Structure 1
Amino acid sequence: MNTISHILLSMLLVLVAYLVVQNQQLRAELDVISTTQNSAAAVLAETLTPLATKIDAINTVTSKIGKEADDASNQKLTALQKRLDLYKLIGTVNQANQLRAEGKGAEAAEKLVSTKKPIWQAGETFAAHKTKLQGLMGTLDKLSAAWKNGDTSTAPDAVRKTLEAVLGELNNEQK
């Protein structure tokens, strides 16, 4: 048994020595792989950092351009909406005139007075026409007071014509 145990111990010693050598070789290979990986990561970082900076700059520029385009589009839509509001005001003035013609002075006066604030705001929006539009306040007050007191003989033609003139000028400016 002694011999068998010597043989077994010898084989075990050879196996342990073999495993130690294999372990050292694997460590050496792992060190090489780790070094290669670290150098590849450093190269990638060097390469990608300027690209990331350029991409950030591009994103900033495109965001700014997109915002400017959106702002310009919104301004155009707002101006068109304000023009549409002026057309609606002409319709309201015409409705007030119809009520006046039917002898409904109080209702006509209320309808006419409802146009004052939108006309004033239109004057703020269209600065070049502010004097014309906001100058209608006195005419609106006089007409509505007369209509409330039963004098429905005067039509709001001056108000309607002023609104139509402003719209005509705005349409000419757009072309």
Structure 2
Amino acid sequence: MNHFQHVVLSMSLVLISYLVFQNQQLRAEIQVLTTLQQGSSTVLAETLAPLAIKIDAINAVTSKQGKAADEAEKKQQALAKQRSELSNILATLKQANQLRTDGKGKEAAEKLASAKKPIWQAGDTLTAQKTRLQALMGPIDKFMAAWKSGDTSTAPDAVSKEIEAVLGELGHE
């Protein structure tokens, strides 16, 4: 073998030795980094687990509060709608009464008849006042019969007062 081949072979041997040494050092560093990463992952998991539990608890509470707020809002809207419907019924009763005082008994009876269904429906939605509201059907029928026959001397004041009383009760809820 010639001298040049010895030099190349020696250099190759030195280079391979250097690369093997570097490979062993890199493997050791990678092993240390892997161990650190696993330790960090464990610490992070131990730290985040209680936080995740707290976040779930917070979400549960806010969800309940949101549902309660939605239910309260729906209840307020329903109450406002019921108040509005009762106010409309009162307006209809006043119109019927005005027609009665003007001597228009048949028109007054028709106007009063148009209030029966809304009063009945209000009784269906207002369970606490159902009996009182639906009991107004008899007096309304009597007023209508009298007015149609030409006797316009009786006013629906009792019906109006009962609806005003129910409306007042809704104002306090």
Q: CA deviation at 1:34?
A: 0.6
1:37 corresponds to: 37
The answer to whether the 8 Å contact 1:100/1:152 transfers is: no
Q: For residues 9-49 of structure 1, give each alpha carbon's deviation from its aligned partner in whole angstroms, at most 9, with x where no partner exists.
A: 22122111111110111011001101110111011111211
1:166 corresponds to: 166
The answer to whether the 8 Å contact 1:133/1:163 transfers is: yes
1:56 corresponds to: 56
Equivalences, count? 172
Q: CA deviation at 1:89?
A: 0.9
Q: 1:121 to 1:3 in 2, by over 3 A?
A: same
2:135 corresponds to: 135
Percent of aligned pairs sharing the same letter? 59
Matches of 1:169 and 1:29, distance apart in 2: 80
TM-score under structure 2 normalisation? Answer: 0.82
Unaligned stretches of 5+ residues in structure 1: none
Deviates more, 1:21-30 or 1:71-80: 71-80
Q: CA deviation at 1:146?
A: 4.3
1:86 corresponds to: 86
1:116 corresponds to: 116
1:18 corresponds to: 18
Cα RMSD (Å) of the superposition? 2.5
The answer to whether the 8 Å contact 2:79/2:170 transfers is: no
Q: For residues 53-98 of structure 1, give each alpha carbon's deviation from its aligned partner in whole angstroms, at most 9, with x where no partner exists.
A: 1221121122112322332232233223212221111011122333
Q: 1:27 to 1:107 in 2, by over 3 A?
A: farther
1:151 corresponds to: 150
Please tell me the residue identity of whatever aligns with 1:5.
Q
TM-score under structure 1 normalisation? Answer: 0.81
Matches of 1:164 and 1:21, distance apart in 2: 98
1:5 corresponds to: 5
Q: 1:29 to 1:169 in 2, by over 3 A?
A: closer
Please tell me the residue identity of whatever aligns with 2:59.
N
Q: For residues 138-170 of structure 1, give each alpha carbon's deviation from its aligned partner in whole angstroms, at most 9, with x where no partner exists.
A: 1222333444x4526143333222212333344
Q: For residues 102-142 of structure 1, give each alpha carbon's deviation from its aligned partner in whole angstroms, at most 9, with x where no partner exists.
A: 55555443432222222123234444433321111112223
